[in-house]
């Protein structure tokens, strides 16, 4: 417990250099500080295009948290109206739409857009990547925001951290997976980098959109599917047709969502509206994590009342997946210097923070969470 | 990975009821929504009294993050000037000073004020309490903010979550502690509830202010001291005179800091300034955690280059400490119905979230952090 008077501190402490720890700024101009108490605040109306359906209320809800706060901060003068995936554009057109400025702001998961630039994955998550807390530290106080913004500059976009799900679950399996060998020939719905790793481990990877997964799992066209965590998974009802619920979702250890803002639209905002957007994004960021952390425990408890068995992925599978994931990333880095730059920042951040996170935080959690 | 189009979702999902997940509001009035684009925004200057010295730049820095953001949000019209502990009032007078309105806003750790009401500890942390993420979930999306605000209402204060240190370290010991029995007769500087638990385990508890600890540890007047985490501990130099660095700090598993706002001062603010304060507090909240998570790993690495040995508290000590801590809280709850109310909310939140936190998040962390 920190208890000290000011005079105490100067006795011994080496005074910290950084007196002011401010979240990374992003181009807000200086306060004008003029004497006028009467000013003009423009009315601005934006549409926001989300990559998520409204029914996934936690992840979609971050856009509403953002819009509500910005409205309150500007006495209703800067209004943002949120649209769910498919209302304005499909979920995978959000980046392109904001790039063009057709819609000035979006909310998405940047790993949807690795086809445009593989390094965009680091704005969200990669297999065996950072946890939610490590990610926020890297984004706000490491090079994360700086480096991801360099990538987004190519798309005429300014990105802001805008939520996290925490470590997702590994998904729903009709049969048990007791070793790496059990993956061979398994038909699993898993997109993205996780799917690439699974493919190298012998899985027959299927990519199905949300609504097609349940019937495929029910009919046995697929043997397994991943999705998100208990609260979101429960809505899709997978527990009714596959009873083995595996963890951890090593391909999504702490997915960060992002708000995308078109740079031209950003530059046209008054500086206090820019500040409003930045502060509201930070609030949405902490709020989504808290919301998932509030809802997932109860959802998991409900799922466990439905013949669901919690199962841990076997060690040999985890180790092999980690090896393959690192190898995929190393190959990408060898082929692309701009990928290497952000990959190295991200990887060394992870490596350098492991010892600290493995001491107090992990040891306490292991002890405290044993009461299940 | 969540990928779906809107039409997919309606095929199977039970639509979530809560379409809008908003961080708990706190009395901001409705947007006035009037047509006038020209308005009057008052100039307001507040002083903020912190319980922390400027040299502890991360925890003190949250006040500067708050002030800087509020200034930007209001075009410099709402200014908050931060003062470190002792400049306006001593660290332990912050609550009383804000209560009286002498200073309209403070930043502190509510466990400093358990003498006024023991239940104030839940606004910060208790031995074997919530982790930082569990705490945010309870505060923002459980009953935490509501219940702590009921307590603070007695002090004419509105509280806002304003930062977290994460699980602190267990502190610096001149000799090894290999079992519970080794605590008997040990002279340790540890204030608060942690000190009460240590006392029941046979420790001779000492309470020393920050600047008096180092010389006492150097001379051998005390055998051990706790303080905070690596980044803050390093500044006080304990590693030079005690080489056994224990973890975890089970008495401070996720201390939440708070901003205190005098209710009369709050009520006098225009609603957009209230919104600015609330959003800036949320940003400071996520920012302090990220800042500690960025700084602690490097500080720990530096400490380990100075003959520091990381050591885990023995299991029998942890179990006995947990038993005693629970017992202390149960006794308090038996004597005080208002304490019981918040204790039960806090405890059931912890209990109900353990299973979820012990699955994906903990299993992934245990695996990923093993590379140390």
- pLDDT tens track for B6-42: 555 544 443 333 333 333 333 333 333 444 445 579 9
Mean of all residue pLDDT scores within chain A: 91
Partners of residue A311 on adjacent β-strands: A246
The answer to whether the beta carbons of residues B262 and B153 sit under 8 Å apart is no
Q: Is there a contact between B214 and A8 (Cβ–Cβ < 8 Å)?
A: no
Which bin fits B257, alpha (ψ -120 to 50), beta or left (φ > 0)?
beta
Overall average pLDDT of the A350-361 stretch: 96
Q: Give residue limits of the domains in chain A.
A: 44-164+255-293
Q: What is the pLDDT of residues A104-127, one digit of tens each?
A: 999 999 999 999 999 999 999 999
| Chain A residues with CB-CB distance to B65 below 8 A | 20-23
What mean pLDDT value characterizes chain B? 91
pLDDT(A8) > 80: no
Q: Nearest-CA distance from B17 to chain A in Å?
A: 8
Q: Which residue of A has its CA nearest to B294?
A: A137
- A5 with B59: Cβ contact below 8 A: no
Report pLDDT for A1: 72
Chain B interface disruption, residue of A16, A242, A371, most B CBs within 10 A: A16
Answer yes or no: is pLDDT of A207 > 90.
no
Whether the pLDDT of residue A12 is over 60: the answer is no
Question: Could you read off the pLDDT of B305-331 as tens digits, one per residue?
Answer: 999 999 999 999 999 999 999 999 999
Rounded Cα–Cα distance for residues A107 and A122 (Å): 16
Contacts A365 to B, Cβ<8 Å: 131, 167, 357-358, 362, 365
Confidence of residue B4 (pLDDT cuts 50, 70, 90): low
Whether complex ipTM tops 0.95? no
User: pLDDT tens digits for A261-270?
Assistant: 999 999 999 9
Confidence at A43, pLDDT banded by 50, 70, 90 = very high
Nearest to B162 by CA among B113, B107, B120: B107
Q: Which residue has the tokens 């996290």?
A: A164
Q: Which value, to the nearest 10 degrees, does the dihedral of the CA atoms of residues A168, A169, A171, A175 take?
A: 160
Chosen from A6, A35, A38 to mutate, greatest number of chain B CBs within 10 A: A6
CATH number of A44-164+255-293: 3.40.190.170
Asked if residue A18 has pLDDT above 50, the reply is: no
Tell me whether residues B236 and A6 touch, CB distance under 8 A: no
Judged on CB neighbours under 10 Å (0-12, 13-18, 19+), A29 is exposed
- pTM exceeds cut of 0.90: yes
- Tell me, what's the pLDDT at A214? 95
Per-residue pLDDT reduced to its tens digit, B265-305: 999 999 999 999 999 999 999 999 999 999 999 999 999 99
Subunit contact A73:B276, Cβ cutoff 8 A: yes
pLDDT at residue B43, as a whole number: 97
- Return the bridge partners of A200, or none: none
pLDDT 10s digits, B158-201: 999 999 999 999 999 999 999 999 999 999 999 999 999 999 99
- Assess contact for A118 and A332: CB atoms under 8 A: yes
Nearest CA in chain B to A254: B361
Q: How confident is the model at residue A260 (pLDDT cuts 50, 70, 90)?
A: very high
> What residues contact residue B216 under an 8 Å CB cut-off, 6+ apart?
B189, B206, B208, B222, B225
pLDDT at A30 over 50: no
Top-confidence residue, A24 or A191? A191
CB-nearest partner of B298 from A21, A76, A352: A352
Alpha helices (H) along chain B? 6-12, 57-73, 94-100, 132-136, 144-153, 192-200, 210-219, 230-236, 263-267, 271-303, 315-335, 337-358, 360-368
Instruction: Check residues A372 and A300 and name the one with the higher pLDDT.
Output: A300
Mean pLDDT, residues A213-240 taken together: 96
């Amino acid at each position: 417990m920190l208890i000290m008077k000011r005079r105490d501190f100067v006795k011994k402490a080496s005074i910290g250099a950084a007196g002011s720890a401010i979240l990374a700024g992003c181009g807000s101009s200086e306060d004008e500080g003029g004497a006028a108490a009467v000013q003009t605040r423009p009315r601005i109306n934006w549409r926001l295009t989300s990559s998520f359906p409204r029914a996934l209320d936690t992840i979609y809800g971050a856009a509403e948290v953002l819009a509500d706060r910005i409205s309150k901060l500007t006495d209703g003068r800067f209004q943002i109206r949120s649209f769910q995936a498919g209302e304005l554009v499909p979920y995978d057109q959000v980046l392109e739409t904001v790039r063009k400025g057709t819609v000035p702001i979006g909310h998405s998961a940047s790993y949807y857009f690795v086809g445009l630039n593989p390094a965009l994955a680091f704005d969200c998550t990669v297999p065996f990547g950072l946890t939610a807390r490590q990610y926020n530290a890297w984004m706000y106080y490491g090079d994360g925001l700086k480096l991801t913004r360099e990538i987004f500059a190519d798309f005429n976009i300014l990105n802001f951290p805008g939520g996290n799900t925490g470590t997702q679950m590994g998904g729903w399996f009709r049969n048990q997976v007791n070793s790496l060998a059990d993956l061979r020939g398994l038909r699993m719905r898993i997109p993205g980098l996780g799917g690439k790793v699974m493919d190298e481990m012998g899985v027959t990877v299927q990519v199905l959109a949300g609504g097609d997964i349940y019937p495929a799992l029910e009919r046995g066209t697929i043997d397994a599917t991943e999705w998100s965590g208990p609260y979101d998974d429960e809505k899709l009802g997978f527990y009714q047709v596959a009873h083995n619920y595996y963890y951890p979702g090593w391909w999504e250890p702490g997915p960060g969502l992002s708000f995308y803002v078109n740079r031209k639209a950003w530059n046209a905002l008054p500086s206090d509206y820019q500040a409003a957007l930045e502060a509201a994004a930070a609030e949405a960021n902490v709020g989504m994590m808290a919301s998932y952390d509030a809802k997932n425990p109860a959802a998991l408890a409900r799922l466990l009342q439905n013949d669901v068995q919690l199962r841990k992925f076997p060690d040999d599978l985890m180790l092999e997946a980690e090896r393959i994931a690192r190898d995929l990333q190393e190959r990408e880095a060898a082929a692309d210097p701009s990928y290497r730059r952000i990959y190295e920042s991200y990887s060394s951040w992870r490596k350098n923070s492991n010892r600290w996170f493995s001491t107090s935080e992990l040891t306490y959690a292991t002890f405290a969470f044993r009461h299940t």
